[in-house]
Chain A
Amino acid sequence: MKVGLRQSMAFLHTWAGLLFGWLLLAVFVTGTTAYFQDEITRWMQPEIKGERHLVASAEGAVDYMRQHAQGVETWSIQLPGKRSVAAMGYWKEKGETYLQWRDHAFMVDGRGVRVDARDTTGGWLLYRLHFDLHYVPVLWGRWTVGLAAMFMLVAIVSGVITHRRIFADFFTLRLGKGQRSWLDAHNLGAVLALPFHVMITYTGLVTLQAAYMPWGIAAAYERPADYHRELTGIDAPPTRSGTFAASAPIADMIAQARARWNGADPGFIAILIPGDANSVVKITQDTGTSMATRGETLTFDAATGHMRTPPASRGGAAMTESVMVGLHAGRFAPPALRWLYFLSGLMGSAMVATGLVLWTAKRRLRLPDPTRPHVGFRLVERLNVATIAGLPFGIAVYFIANRLLPSAMTHRAAWEANWLFIGWGALLLYVFLRPPRRVWIESLSMVAVAYLAVPAVNALTTDRGLLRSFVAGDLVFAGFDLSMLVTAAGFAFAAWKLFRRPLARVRETRSRRERIA
């Protein structure tokens, strides 16, 4: 028997979508929040105030490490981008791996003064969740997400073939018609942002192409490290001379870098074997200053402040890759474009969520007995609630934990992350323990309450509540709190809609079945 193209594509779309849908939803949701990563981090460190002054914070960080970290291997400074205030400095001692940097990290504000900010991973956690997952080795996470992204590409192509009416019904959303409405919403989320979905999935795979397709590098380079060195322009570390030499002012080197980059800001500074006569300063361009995200790295002799010969400009392939990664991460995006990115990300999340719900909506009417569905149906139904409501709930709990955990707590940042998963896990448990009939309404209401609580807890525990930041014209803090309220309203609206509907639908289904019988 021959199966038509559309049917076989529909099968592929349905099952690839279901199998990876829950993971893809998490990837879409956390990825969407990552467009406001810097703003989230700022909200999660309310101790950091004032204006951004890039040079002053760099000088402050160098001064601090000069006093507290002599004789170590590396000083690193993550400079504030246009949307941040503080620089983060950290050092690495001999024998430590780069994973231990958190042990020696500190924040410096725009005055060049060290700020005792609470220990948090901020928006960075959600960004890393997006492609590294959590509690699993980074490589496993990336392989899993990469596999899901491949299936996302499959789902996009097979979806365009399966839902052939998406172009004829381009603007169609019929409300209050059960399965029909879910299908319309799924199609709208997909088709209205289709260029974004294709771009984001494809470039997402490109961001980690070296991990997914290592064989090209393996064929051309003896060691993978050689490839990365050539790509990033970072050569072998300098050797110690043993003689002390004071470093030239960092501000001069920043000025030289800016002059070479037509005024674009540096984003990262690494000072290798600081204090030694052979010490070297590496200054990398900020990833947010151009659509091509991989900025140039310049090398200076620390003792003289003299810039070495800049690296040769990169080839076409490396530039293409850099622009693709830049398009994906959207770091270059000015505020208006950032919101457009965010909206497209929400549409993608909605597309995956409605697709998951559609799977159950389609099958519910065909069940032998809708009041007692089979095990597979119940599992999918509950996993849907546990993901669609559970992850947003966990994120709200993460934000609340940021305000409530004591600031002196050991492993505080790790515990904030744990609370995200405790919140998510608790909702998952709840979903599996409650009778299915009301579980959607109850879960969505809980999410709404959690997001309502975020600005409330913020106002109670800091001096930067919504009202004050609104009066002070603090767009980041007011914007964050308002976004929480809008999110709460969205989930509350969904719960309220469900509260008004389900009885009618069950009745309708039953009477239709009776008619058939």
Chain B
Amino acid sequence: MIALCILAALAGFVGLSFGMTRHQRDVLGRTLAPSTSLRWRIVGWTGVALSLVLAAIRDGAALGTVYWLGELTVAALAVALGTTWRGSRRGASPVREPSGER
């Protein structure tokens, strides 16, 4: 159940990151149309909200909220590291050092 919550939050944050121009450039190399971005953001917030609902069902509103905030941190950290990894693989960084150096 904890894993399910983190998964929902993870899906939520992936959605949110796809809805942000900065991360669209990092991951896709281009920006999406505003309507597409909006749709991703809706998906994102839904995922984040769903993870709260799941946590509250599991542990009640009080303890569930405490769990949820911790689970959000784990999920967001995973998305941040994933975005970094994708970005470095794409070579999206503008001032990348030439690969011959060192």
Binding site for B on A (CB under 8 A): 168-177, 188, 192-193, 195-196, 291, 327, 332-333, 336-337, 340-341, 343-344, 347, 504
* Min CB–CB distance B32 → chain A (angstroms): 16
Number of B interface residues, CB 8 Å? 32
A-B contact pairs, 6 of them (CB 8 A): A171-B76, A176-B97, A291-B62, A336-B67, A341-B70, A344-B73
Chain A residues whose CB sits within 8 angstroms of the CB of B102 once the complex forms: 504
Which B residue's beta carbon lies closest to that of A342?
B70
- CB of B26 within 8 A of CB of A172, answer yes
| Interface flags, B71-90, vs A, CB<8A=1, else 0 | 11110110111011001100
Closest CB in chain A relative to B79 CB, distance in Å: 5
Shortest distance from the beta carbon of A123 to any chain B beta carbon, whole Å:
21
- Whole-angstrom CA separation of A315 from B67 in the bound complex: 26
Question: A193 touching B73 by the CB < 8 A rule?
Answer: yes
- Give the distance in Å from the alpha carbon of A336 to the alpha carbon of B17 in the complex: 26
A181 CB → nearest B CB, Å = 10
Shortest CB-to-CB span from A517 to chain B, Å, is 21
Q: Which A residue's beta carbon lies closest to that of B21?
A: A168
> Nearest-CB distance from B11 to chain A (Å)?
14
B93 surroundings in chain A (CB, below 8 A):
174, 177
Using Cβ atoms and an 8 Å threshold, which residues of chain B touch A291?
Answer: 62-63, 66
* B23:A343 contact, CB within 8 angstroms: no
- Cβ contact within 8 Å between B70 and A196: yes
Q: Chain B 3-47, CB within 8 Å of chain A: the 1/0 string? A: 000000000010011001011001000000000000000000000
A171/B73 in contact, CB under 8 A: no
Given contacts A195-B69, A504-B102, 10 further A-B contacts (CB under 8 A): A170-B23, A171-B23, A188-B77, A188-B80, A327-B66, A333-B66, A336-B2, A337-B66, A337-B67, A343-B77
Q: Hey, which chain A residues are within 8 Å of B66, CB to CB? A: 291, 327, 333, 337
Q: Which residue of B lies closest to A344 (CB)?
A: B73
Determine which residue in A169, A171, A327, A333 has the highest number of CB atoms from chain B within 10 A of its CB, and name it: A171
For B77, the closest partner residue in chain A by CB is: A192
Beta-carbon contact of A173 and B80 below 8 Å: yes
**Beyond A168-B22, A327-B66, A336-B2, is A196–B73 a contact (Cβ under 8 Å)?**
yes
CB contact between A340 and one of B17, B26, B67, B84 (< 8 Å): that residue? B67
Do A172 and B83 have beta carbons less than 8 Å apart? yes
Q: Are A172 and B63 in contact (CB under 8 A)?
A: no
Chain A hits for B67, CB < 8 A = 336-337, 340
Knowing A337-B70, A340-B73 are in contact, say whether A175-B88 is a contact too (CB < 8 A).
yes
Bound Cα distance from A442 to B26, whole angstroms = 35
Is B73 a contact partner of A192 (Cβ separation < 8 A)? yes
Q: B80 to chain A: closest CB distance in Å? A: 4
Q: For B82, give the chain A residue with the smallest CB separation.
A: A171
CA distance A341 to B93 in the complex (A): 33
A347 to B73, CA, bound (A): 9
| Neighbouring A residues of B76 by C-beta, 8 Å | 170-171, 192
Partner of B80, one of A176, A192, A333, A340: A192
Knowing A177-B95, A291-B63, A327-B66, the reply to whether A171 touches B74 (Cβ < 8 A) is no
- Residues of B near A195 (CB, < 8 A) are 69, 72
| Chain B residue contacts of A192, Cβ below 8 A | 73, 76-77, 80
B20/A168 in contact, CB under 8 A: yes
Q: Specify which of A327, A340, A504 is in contact with B101 (CB 8 Å cutoff).
A: A504
Q: Is the CB of B80 within 8 A of A171?
A: yes
Closest to B71 in A: A340
Q: How far is the CA of A337 from the CA of B97 in the complex (A)?
A: 41
Chain B's closest residue to A188 (CB) is B80
Residues of chain B within 8 A of A169, CB atoms compared? 22
Q: Are A174 and B71 in contact (CB under 8 A)?
A: no
C-alpha gap A196/B62 in the complex (Å): 15
Question: A171–B2 contact, CB under 8 A?
Answer: no
A196→B69 contact, CB < 8 A: yes
**Whose C-beta in chain B lies nearest to the C-beta of A176?**
B97
Within 8 Å CB of A347, what residues of B?
73, 77
Task: Find chain A residues with CB under 8 A from B79 CB.
Answer: 171
Determine which residue in B71, B84, B102 has the highest number of CB atoms from chain A within 10 A of its CB, and name it: B84
> A330: nearest residue on chain B (CB-CB)?
B66
Q: Which residues of A contact B23 (CB under 8 A)?
A: 170-172
Question: How far apart sit A176 and B26, CA to CA, in the bound complex (Å)?
Answer: 16
Q: In the docked arrangement, what's the CA distance between A173 and B26, Å? A: 10
CA distance in complex: A370, B5 (Å)? 49
Are the C-beta atoms of B17 and A170 separated by less than 8 Å? yes
